[in-house]
Structure 1
Amino acid sequence: MDFSLTDEQRMLVDTLDRLIADRVAPEQRRAMLETPAATPSALWQTFAELGLLHMPFTEEVGGLGGDGTDLMLIMQALGRGLVPDAYLAGLVLPGDLLARLGDDPQRERWLTPLLDGEHQLALAWQESEARYDAHGITTAARRDDDGWRLDGDKQLVLNAASAAALLVTARLDDGRLGLFVVPADATGLSRRDYLTFDDRSASDLILDDVSLSVDSCLGLDAAAALDATLALGRAALCAEAVGAMEAACEQTLDYLKERQQFGTPLSRFQSLQHRMVDMHLHLEQARSMAILAATSLTLPDAERDYRLAAAKAYCGEAARFVAEQAIQLHGGMGMSAECYVSHYAKHLVMFDHYLGDVDHHLDHVSDHLVDAA
């Protein structure tokens, strides 16, 4: 199979790499994290001007018709630069669900300004009791005379603090899974904001008799659409992890070449060379799995979910291995905030916990193999 990039894809990668190198240097990234903007950042507006916000969406909903490979290339570049803007959590995940389930007025109200960079959104699907099970939802939605009312809790909602609205999953009276647009200022919605281990903005939500209009409902049977969107998110995460692993390997090798012991660069020690080789083996195998994930999004649901689970599980193991080796090869300074590789290591460790960890996805792979036997 030919995995070479087209001329347009190479231009996309070059443009992104140059932009991120210029706008997300370590000092600039630190400033972005310390002063989170109430509105989309200047970098986000540049993404909009370059069409990067439109790229992952079909032309029918106002996008540029990019496929899984295009999204993979974007996410790899964001991972290499450790870009803090919530491209996945604030754009891709909620936007994909809006594109799948929203009608024309709903898309015009929420999706069009999202693609134009005017606001960001967030997807609230995880609950503490359900863990990574997207269908184990206990948040309840009930119909009343004026529309809908929601009650429940949501955990680890990425980008909620910067979102104009939240896409919330809730269980209907008949057992189906519904999806609702909840404005950020809705009465009855409370939010506890915090930073994850890798400095990502996240929130826990409490929905206490939140009243919504009739047109806030995106779908009354959203389970299949949610599965497809989470599969897209896992493919994007695998690509982002590959980009972060690339940068961690490069920075570790540069350090070994510069740091000397007994008058000799550390890169000359054979045992450390072997460890760098192991890091690159994990990186290249993860790259292959990320390609598998990106090219499996259009398969039938069962095959798609099996391949995405296998890719996410392997990339999770590889990400942790590369993170641990990068820290160890840097020595004690690798644990300090001043050493930039530590930020990559934190993100690679946390990668495993977004959209399902290794154990969760290995269980899925195992179940699939048993059913196929």
Structure 2
Amino acid sequence: MDFTFSGEQQMLRDSVSAFLLKHYDFDKRNAIVRSEAGWSRDVWGQFAELGLLALPFAEDHGGLGGSMADLIAIAEPFGAHLLAEPYLASVMLGGAALAKAPDGSSAAEWLEKIMTGEAIAALAYEEGAGTPDPAMVGLKAAKTADGFALSGEKRMVLSGRDADVIVVAARGGDGKLALLTVDPAAYGLTITPFATIDGRRAAHLRFDTVALPTDALILDDAETALRSLLDRAILALCAESVGAMGALLKQTAEYAATRKQFGVAIGTFQTVAHRLADMKIAYSKARATLLYTTALIDAGQSGAKDIAILKGQTGKLGREIGEAAIQTHGGVGMTDELSISHFHKRILANDALLGNAEYHLRKTGTL
């Protein structure tokens, strides 16, 4: 297996990094996060023009047919710049679920709008169990004369307030897992929005016998498709975290080289030097696991254990790097004025999504 980016992937990575460096520095990003929307439609439009929103979708769906390695090439810079825009929610979760619909489905119209940046999608999946296991989905989709009726709750729906279409995972009358599209304005649907610890927008959803037409059904036996979708979303999530780890390592090393105590840089102190070395080892290990798992997925050789190892290690090592960065910076590292605390929050938030490190490491038998 080749674990290096191709020339085209490196060019893509460099162009995304250059765009974010110019238009998405820390101060601009904070202004975006503090705005009412919490993300920038201008930046989102630029992503659409660059083809980033269409990148992971198959050419048959009008996408660019990018590989997971292509996606990782842009996801790491997203993490390094603390992207607040709903790429994970709309493209990797909601959009990916719509892409599972059979040919001729009304979901194709939504998918086209998502790739052009005209619409935002969300996936309502989590129900408070804190795991990515589809077996934990309990929301009911009762069959009716005119279609379906949804009853139950969904938690932590990324971009749940902003979505133009919501894809809901629910149990049909036969007990099989189904995917259905829901209009956010549907009668009986209550959306409770909030901001996550790292500044992204999410919502809790409550369905009180929400009536859906028959054509709202995307898949009536969706467990295999959903597992595949979540594996790829976990990979993108881990790539963001690895990008944030790299930024923490770089900024902490620069700080240790310039911050002086007793007339010398603190990086010359043995304790600090050892801490920086541990950070570099942790980052290298996390990134190596990310690249290896990406290669496995693209080669069609990945399994559930590979995804669990990646998610578990990324969460565990990311927490260690974040804590070491804050400790090196001292009290100022915990304030909102520096990006250090924001990177740590992003890593912690990513760890909590789709099963935390403890959950995944227990699955592998290493905890």
Counterpart-to-counterpart distance in 1, 2:4 and 2:209:
52
1:94 aligns to what? 94
Q: Which amino acid aligns with 2:161?
A: A
Q: d(CA) in 2 for partners of 1:130 and 1:252?
A: 32
- Quick one: distance in 1 between partners of 2:245 and 2:252? 10
Name 2:346's counterpart in structure 1.
Answer: 347
Distance of aligned partners of 1:345 and 1:237 in 2 relative to their CA distance in 1, 3 Å threshold = same
Q: Which residue of 2 aligns with 1:54?
A: 54
SS at match of 2:136: coil
Listed one character per residue, the Cα deviations across residues 13-45 of structure 1 (whole Å, up to 9, x for unaligned) are 110011001111111111111114399610010
Task: Look up the match of 1:268.
Answer: 268
| CA distance, structure 2, for counterparts of residue 346 and residue 108 of structure 1 | 35
| 1:228 Cα offset (Å) | 0.3
Distance apart, 1:254 and its partner CA: 1.2
Which amino acid in 2 is paired with 1:151? S
Letter paired with 1:307: D
TM-score (normalised: structure 1): 0.94
Cα shift at 1:298: 5.1
Q: Please give the secondary structure, in 2, of the residue aligned with 1:104.
A: coil
Deviations 1:126-184 (A, max 9, x none): 11247443221111001111111100000111111111011111111111001110111
Is 1:334 aligned to 2:333, yes or no? yes
Instruction: Please tell me whether residue 139 in structure 1 is matched to residue 139 in structure 2.
Output: yes
1:51-130 map, 5 Å: 51-129=51-129
Report the residue type matching 1:87 in the other structure.
Y
1:317-365 C-alpha deviation (Å, 9 max, x unpaired): 1110011001100000001100111100111122211111112112322
Asked whether the 8 Å contact 1:40–1:119 carries over to 2, the reply is no
Output the CA distance in 2 between the equivalents of 1:280 and 1:337. 24
Query: Secondary structure, in 3 states, of the residue corresponding to 2:313?
Result: helix
% identity of equivalent residues: 36
Q: Which amino acid letter does the alignment assign opposite residue 358 of structure 2?
A: D
| 1:204-242 Cα distance to aligned partner (Å, 9 max, x none) | 110001011111110110100000000001111111111
Distance 2:140 2:193 in 1: 23
Q: Larger deviation: 185-194 or 94-103?
A: 94-103
- The farther-off stretch of 194-203 and 124-133 is 124-133
Which amino acid letter does the alignment assign opposite residue 206 of structure 1? Answer: R
TM-score where L is the length of structure 2: 0.96
Shift of 1:270: 2.0
Q: Is 2:244 the partner of 1:244?
A: yes
Contact 2:72 2:236 in 1 (8 A): yes
Unaligned runs of 5+ in 1: 368-373
Residues 1:226 and 2:260 aligned together: no
1: CA distance, partners of 2:39 / 2:318:
32
Cα separation, 2, equivalents of 1:102 and 1:360: 33
Q: Residues 315-326 of structure 1: matches in 2 within 5 Å?
A: 315-326=314-325
Distance 1:17 1:300 in 2: 29
Counterpart-to-counterpart distance in 2, 1:84 and 1:38: 7
Q: Is the 8 A contact 1:89 1:158 kept in 2?
A: yes
Q: Counterparts of 1:9-20 in structure 2 under 5 Å? A: 9-20=9-20
Q: Distance in 1 between matches of 2:75 and 2:144?
A: 42
Give 2:353's aligned amino acid. Answer: Y
Question: For residue 152 of structure 2, what is the amino acid of its counterpart?
Answer: G
Query: 2: CA distance between counterparts of 1:5 and 1:362?
Result: 28
CA distance in 2, matches of 1:105, 1:196: 33
> Which amino acid letter does the alignment assign opposite residue 18 of structure 1?
A
Cα distance in 1 for residues equivalent to 2:172 and 2:6? 46
Contact 2:132 2:355 in 1 (8 A): yes
**2: CA distance, partners of 1:351 / 1:147:** 36
- How far residue 102 of structure 1 moved from its aligned partner, in angstroms, is 4.1
- The one-letter amino acid paired with 1:122 is A
Distance 1:91 1:5, change over 3 A: same
Contact 2:67 2:298 in 1 (8 A): no
Question: Structure 1 residues 37 and 195 mapped into 2: Cα distance closer, same or farther (>3 Å)?
Answer: closer
Aligned partners of 1:39 and 1:162 also within 8 Å: no
Contact persistence 1:126–1:154 (CA under 8 A): yes
In structure 1, the residue matched to 2:277 is 277
Contact persistence 2:99–2:108 (CA under 8 A): no
Q: Which residue of 2 aligns with 1:370?
A: none
Query: Secondary structure in 2 aligned to 1:352?
Result: helix
Match of 1:304 in 2: 303
Instruction: Give the CA RMSD over aligned residues.
Output: 1.7
Q: Is the 8 A contact 1:149 1:211 kept in 2?
A: yes
Matched length: 366
Task: Quote the Cα distance in structure 2 between the aligned partners of 1:36 and 1:248.
Answer: 28
CA distance in 2, matches of 1:38, 1:271: 39
